[in-house]
Amino acid sequence: MDRVTAIVWGLVALGTILAFVIYWNRRLRTARRIDDFLEEYFQGRMPVGQLGQRARAIASGEFFGGPTFLSRAASAFQHAIDVKRAKQANSKEEEELVRLLGDLKREFGVPDRYKFEGRPGRE
């Protein structure tokens, strides 16, 4: 391998690493922004339609169809429940949070993938 070939391969490797770092950084930044939107939503400061519009503007449909979005939504929901319970919330506030989670799932078309169907013979 001569010197020019080694330099070319080094630049290709460096370019590949740089592309991966940029991709990963964008993905993390998008996830953080979605987390902020979900937090505002569960605090009642943003309607579901506005959440859907803003979230779709920064993330792809692939993000919403995958397990990442569902896990982030569930995490934001649980955080909101924990905050309400820390303040000794009543069941009305918890019912409102459950309703908000349902609205969120309908807005993004997130199914209950992990729901137990309860049919005999199914495990």
Where are the domains positioned within the chain? Answer: 30-108
Looking at residue 113, what is its pLDDT? 57
Kindly report, residue by residue over 51-96, the tens digit of the pLDDT: 999 999 998 888 887 788 888 999 999 998 888 777 776 778 878 8
User: What DSSP line would sit under 51-85, residue for residue?
Assistant: HHHHHHHHS-HHHHHSHHHHHHHHHHHHHHHHHHH
Pick 121 or 105 by higher pLDDT: 105
Banded pLDDT at 123 (limits 50, 70, 90): very low
Residue 28 predicted with pLDDT over 70 = yes
Judged against a pLDDT cut of 80, whether residue 104 lies above it is answered with yes
- Asked if residue 43 lies in contact with residue 100, where contact means CB atoms within 8 angstroms, the answer is no
- Whether the full predicted model's pTM is greater than 0.75, yes or no, is no
